[in-house]
Amino acid sequence: MATITEVRTDALVPTDLVLKTGQIKIESEEISTKDLSDIPLPPPSKRPTEVLSVDKGTPDSHVPRDPRLIRLTGVHPFNVEPPLTDLYKEGFLTSPELFYVRNHGPVPHVKDEDIPHWEITIEGLVEKPLVLNFRQVLQQYDQITAPITLVCAGNRRKEQNIVRKTKGFSWGSAGLSTALFTGPLLADILRSAKPLRQAKYVCMEGADKLPNGHYGTSIKLNWALDPNRGIMLAHKMNGESLRPDHGRPLRAVVPGQIGGRSVKWLKRLILTDAPSDNWYHINDNRVLPTMVSPDMASNNRNWWHDERYAIYDLNTNSAVAYPQNNEVLNILSAGPSYTVRGYAYAGGGRRVTRVEISLDKGKSWRLADIEYAEDKYRDFEGELFGGKVDMYWRETCFCWCFWSLSIAIPELENSDAILVRAMDEALGVQPRDMYWSDLGMMNNPWFRVTITKENRN
């Protein structure tokens, strides 16, 4: 009778690059010295200084990048995710060089000497239209620092493309990252322009020049004015000025919503009585009904103009970082158990309240342990990177959590797959089955790691 000596796991995400770290330069005068040991600080980081050969000759030839990032759309535009295990190993906060990137086209070339004169306009349905330069944004408004997880709406799309090709490219499970962002609250800037009563939406537009105009989108004005939602304009990321791929010098950061609402290279804020009519707001970041085929979506533009299908809040999701892709576990030399680990997140400021693991195809479930590093900032008093950390009063959660569960080796040996699902405080739970849609966004069925058993002679 054959004896099983190894358990091989196969995940859907590529994680085959090696983590390399350098040092991060932190200005000591910008950090409160009170209770720093109690909060997560950014991981070691080293700003790339050389343009990669693959980027030379492209419109992004001015942007140094980290070679570890996995390119998902060829050479250009730059759309990348890090290897999932590298991302997980960095911990709660992600270094800028491993932070995922979603670019629709060329990165605006903003020189150092141009940054003080960078301007944004606040216009539309306001009593007092404004033009603010970068210095005014920093000097005339209170600055805050907060940990925020950004997630691309296409995270985990690769699984949908395996079932049926969508119009989107194949994100794995690392289309998300977390950083400490610093800047003023969007609410403070909008209030200084005095929104008119009929204003309902904040339309945002970036400086990136694309085939269909500048990238733009919108969020509801009452969200922007709600301090619990923490929407901000960021000029720093983990204490450093924003890097080119992440919106240098100024971007919107909309916690709890898909990354596509956090406009980079921000230039315009327009208050309106209707959602944005920007081409990218209408034709991207939507979940059309699953019965709408690609042909139907292309031939009937009414599907795209229906605001019911626009995505704002993130849904509940999770993924497994360990076991990593193609990890081999020799059960003869392994210890008594193996610790399965991964991440989970929810949307709209909701907290993940449980993560469950099944080894029997969903017939039974067991609870994983959850670590919410975001909570460590709630009792912190002081400034971090030039912004006040003020989270004690806030009940919303805008970051991922890490989960883990120790499983006995014999149980893994007798299982065909590890299934994972998360649930948030509103009891929003990951579904068993995939909801396929034309753009392949918001994919969040149970995360599955297949176990392949191999015999050794």
As annotated, the active-site residues are 152, 284-285
In three-state secondary structure terms, 1 is coil
**Selection from 316, 332, 320, 317 nearest residue 451 by Cα:** 320
In this structure, the number of other CB atoms found within 10 A of the CB of residue 353 comes to 17
**Burial per residue of 83-118, b for 16 or more beta-carbon CB atoms within 10 angstroms, e otherwise:** bbbbbbebebbbbbbbbbbbbbbbbbebeeeebeeb
The strand pairing partners of 209, in sequence order, are 214
Q: Of 220, 149, 231, whose CA–CA distance to 189 is shortest?
A: 231
* Burial class of residue 440, CB neighbours in 10 A (0-12, 13-18, 19+): buried
455 in Cβ contact with 2 (< 8 Å): yes
Tokens of 28: 């000591």
Closest CA to 367 of 340, 347, 346: 340
Rounded Cα gap, residues 369 and 339, in angstroms: 11
CB 242 within 8 A of CB 266: no
C-alpha 235: how far from chain center: 17
Query: What is the distance between the alpha carbons of residues 57 and 209, in angstroms, rounded to a whole number?
Result: 18
Nearby residues of 452 by Cβ (< 8 Å), 6 or more positions away = 7, 8, 9, 10
CB atoms within 10 A of CB 247: 26
Per-residue buried b or exposed e for 177-211, using 16+ beta carbons within 10 Å of the residue's own CB: bbbbbbbbbbbbbbeebebeeebbbbbbbbbbebe
Structure tokens at 106: 């060329």
Q: What span, in angstroms and rounded, lies between the C-alpha atoms of 230 and 256? A: 9
Q: In the structure encoding, which two tokens stand for residue 403, read together?
A: 């989960």
The rounded distance, in Å, linking the Cα atoms of 122 and 195 is 10
